Structure 1
Amino acid sequence: MSSKSKLKFSLLAATAVLLLNPGLVSKTFQNGDSELQAQEMSWALTAPANDASKRDASDPLLAPVPGAVSSSAVSAANAAFAPPAASIAPAADRVAVNPQAAPGDNPFLRQAASAPVATSVAVALPAALPAAEPRGASTPAVANPFAAATGPAAEAASAQPASATSVDISALRYYASTRDLKRVGAELRRLKDLYPDWQPPKDLFTPVSQVDEQPLWNIYATGNYAAVRAGIARAQSVNPKWQPSEDLMTKLQLGEARSLIDSAMAQSRWKDVISTAQGLPSLMVCGEMQVQWNVAEAFARLRNYADAFDVYRYILSSCDDPIMRLSTVQKASLLIPPVGFTSLLALGRTTQDGHPEFENLGFDGIRRQIGAFIEHGDFSEMPANEEITRFVDFIQRNASVEDANLVGWYFYSQKEWTTANAWFLQATKFKRDPKSIEGLILTLRQMDKTEDALKLARHYIKMSPDVARQYIEIVSSVLTADKPALALGETENALFEETVTSQKSALGAQALGWKYLAGNDKAAAKTWFADSVEWQPTEGGVVGLAVLAARAKNGRALSALKVNYGKTFTALQDFKVYRPRYVAKRTPKMRDKSVSSKPRTLVDYLRSAS
């Protein structure tokens, strides 16, 4: 059996289980839509045949459908998901990969050169802050990839006496300025307990000129960090002993670094992005998600996928916002090879319903494979049957209308009209989606159920331009058929003309033109043909105008059509321009001498020439 037949068999089997097993039918379809319910009943009656009239009995797709799909197969861990077949990211075989890496571990081998990244960025940066603690018991603790170094050297550095600038004495100075000696003493004892080697400043009780920081905060809010620096310098030139608050300086440094990273990203200076973040590890926290994404992308652009993976893994292991977590995995899928993306999926947490957090993303591979098949008619890589089964189960559990439509269009491309119709019908049970309705109408037309298709299109005509276009196509085919399959009443005709006008449909307008021409209403026919050509010049509309011009022996109009459209629409060559023969008439002799030979008005002239 070919790969194409295998996929079709797997999807047909899953389709039968999904749509014929009453236990799997969605309960959301309860609004009493008679048109769609009629289509559901119609499919239920015809589905067992499975388009058998169009296929040989030996077709393997007609084999008995196996039993119901076990839902336990869907509870596999994220690591079981197959990697996407295609991605914007580089292929895995182009990078060094550790084949022994477990799901969730870094699968990329480190680059040989591990020297610090050079940078031209110069900015005052504070000491590294502690890395954010990971939250959530379902993921292992992962250290901030840019956290301060640990080990003997770091321990030795931490043993050094605290400097005057590393101790926050703002509260101490406040108590001293108010002469609250009791609180001054308590604050001194607290600071000495924290920093035994620290000594209080000698000018503790010296009055310090106060500066209102609010104007500086106002400038900071605009993002003009250089102006904030300038404001601080001006204030210190007036009051040399004044120091800005630690809060202002910390946020100013973070803002400056963030701005430098954004600028470097815009100019593709990937090394500057990384070095700036390395100088300020406090940016690599959950509250600075954009910075983390930028750093991970910079690593990926430099093909340092191991460090890019570490940043993504740190986010998934430390941050709780579900939207940010999902966006992280989506970004990673576009920037790192599929093997890394697959490993990141294993870091997904278990949702309340017991399914993996990133289960939806795990099916992106099969979505791309089916989409590529619809477009090109073949698979670059055949999906596994187990994956197809899990995909169909996922569609049902999550009421995924987009995925149901995707499978419907797959069967439509295979001309499996009945099965495609069933999938589009199932999609409408999840949600009234325009693409589902359009798919239903198209499959009904292919199944020679024109009347049902017309009813459905008429019912949902205002849902989308695509549905309105389907309605116009159906009615146009009826109006221009030699033997119309349907009889259209006045109400239908009025709705059709209204829809054609609102949609500016050239097809519908020319169909109306031929209808009125057949009824010998040449004025109405000319109006609709002219509208058709104005909205979109087509052969039907142009030929309609040519027929009217030829019947009216309007040689000038026919010649204009040939000049404007003759090269585009060769059918105009069959029309011959009518050229009348003009014969000069003699001026009659004036018999009545009393009548002037020079008439006073045009009316008099016409009368005398008659």
Structure 2
Amino acid sequence: MKPSLFLTALLLGSSALSPLAFAEEAKSGPGEVELAALYYYAEQKQQDRLEAETNRLRLKYPDFVVPADVYAPVAQQVDETALWALYEKNDFTGIAAEIGRRQTENPQWSPSEDFSGKLARRQQRVEMMAATARKDWMGVIEAAKTLDPSTETEVDLVWMLLDAYAETGAKDALTNVYRGLLFREGDKRLPDAQILTTLQKSTRDFSSDDVRKAMGVLATSPLLQAGLQPVELDLTRKDVADFNADEKRQTPIAEGEVAKLRAAAEKGDRLEDLSLLGWYDLKLKAPESAERWFKAALAKRRDEENAKGLYLSLAAENKQEEAYAIAEDYIVEFSDDPEFLMNALSLRFSKPDQPDADVKTVTAYSNAILATSDADHAEILAWYAYNSSQFEAAKAWFEKSLDWESAPVRVKGLALSLLRLGAKKDYAALEDEYRDVYPEMWAEIKVAKPPKGRRSVAVEMPDTTASSSAGGGGTSYLAHFKAKRYSACVKDVSAQEARGKVSADAMLIKGWCYLELSRLADARNAFEAALNNSRTQQDAAYGAALTLLRGRLTDDAEAMVATYPMSEKREREVRAEIYWQRARSAFDHKQYQNVLDALNARASLVAEPADLSQLRGWSYYHLGNRGQAKAVFARLNMQFYDPATAVGLSASTVTLR
């Protein structure tokens, strides 16, 4: 057996290994220990020692070359632990202070690229999240100006941008962001889960046909196709909702599509599905099915709209008593829709064989009639009062109905009421006025027998001062208002005031007439007089707020909104005008940050028109935020050409150079 190389080396002694070892050492060059001395002398700027050490290494290692970085400045190793601790707390003010302190000590120092990059992104995220939370949609858009939807990896930030564009009505920008997210290719393509979420968002912003086309392009894998089923169901919900909302559409949606929603509603917990199907079936004249859906929805939660649907379904099935019971149960909620409530309650008053209405029902019906100025229902209530021998109330309601719309049966009812009251003078005046118009009526009236009916609940009297007197032949203030005879309207109400106490309804209409005449102080007084009546309070508050805004009394208008309730739509309208006036005033006073604050608050309520976006751009410009100013003007310039926008874009661009 041949001895091993190791054994041979042992037999030959160290001399057999030393030439090989020496050769290897000569080839390898200096190690870290020897080079450390070289770097040390260079760092200490000891040039003589540096040269001597270089010569020594060259003698020992003939191929030695001095490393290039020996003469380079030594990189400073800076401890950024404190900065990262502040970063985790989102303490951007503290970070700025710490960076300033360090640069004061060493002007050449700056944070690492890693820290600076991550800080910028963290600030952007925090700013976008805060703006989204306060619904400052323009603030979200400004904070997201560096995002590229086609490459951005933090997709939730792009989703915030989508919400902002959707809320501000920026349709073109919205489309571009969706395109950048959904139609990426290669390794930039979004994961399936993020594609699904984005498509679900798109059902809010685009037609069902457009979303389905996009789904057809994107559904490239069986897994994604299966995941799109919830999106397809959302599209069906959208289709059904659009059908329900469009009065002109009568052709039903394909039953195969609706069947999926029916199945989901049967086993699901979504109240919205039950309501959608109820209104869908009601529109298709299938009230039995609609009744079932609405009852299921109301079993989950008391809800005004679903109660309306159930009432209409029962009425369509001729289940009048059940329908009336729903109206009675929801009498408070339905009072926000007086026309609906009035029609729903009329059953108790329109037929003589109906049971007595209770006090709550009589009050609600009376208020609804006054709120809508409905002559037909005023006549129904007048006959109800007459047939129950409440002749004063009957007279007052017949006068109301005649004020709103003349008809022979109303003249007859008023004449009969006057006869039962023994008001011979008023009766004669009425007959004299209408004898030639309705000649056959009067002989029948004079031989009519008095009613024998009685009711346990008194019919409430309307505000008789709000109508013209019987037989007077005058035109009511309401008719003047509807005909836009505003001066005559004011004159009529003022005449009633001179005769005694005037109704809240009359003062409300007087306020609108004064406002149309631009007599703002008088309009304000009239509206404030109508604020004390619960029936007219909301309308009076709205009118007063508009009057105050017309007079540029912005703070007073805001106080009016804060004090008195209004519908959501009206409050949004008033607040939008408040913020516009504040923005305009702040701009005139060169308070540019206040301009932006007011515009951001307004943009959270309604879409921002181009003229206000110009105001935004100039505010950024005057605050020194030239980049943001340029972005605003550039976006406006892309939408349409306007000389003022072009000037703003030019000014902000020149300044940036």
TMscore range, shorter length: 0.3 to 0.5
The higher radius of gyration belongs to 2
Greater percentage in helix:
2
TM-score, with structure 2 as normaliser: 0.40
* Relative contact order higher in (CA < 8 Å, ≥ 6 apart): 1
TM-score, with structure 1 as normaliser: 0.42
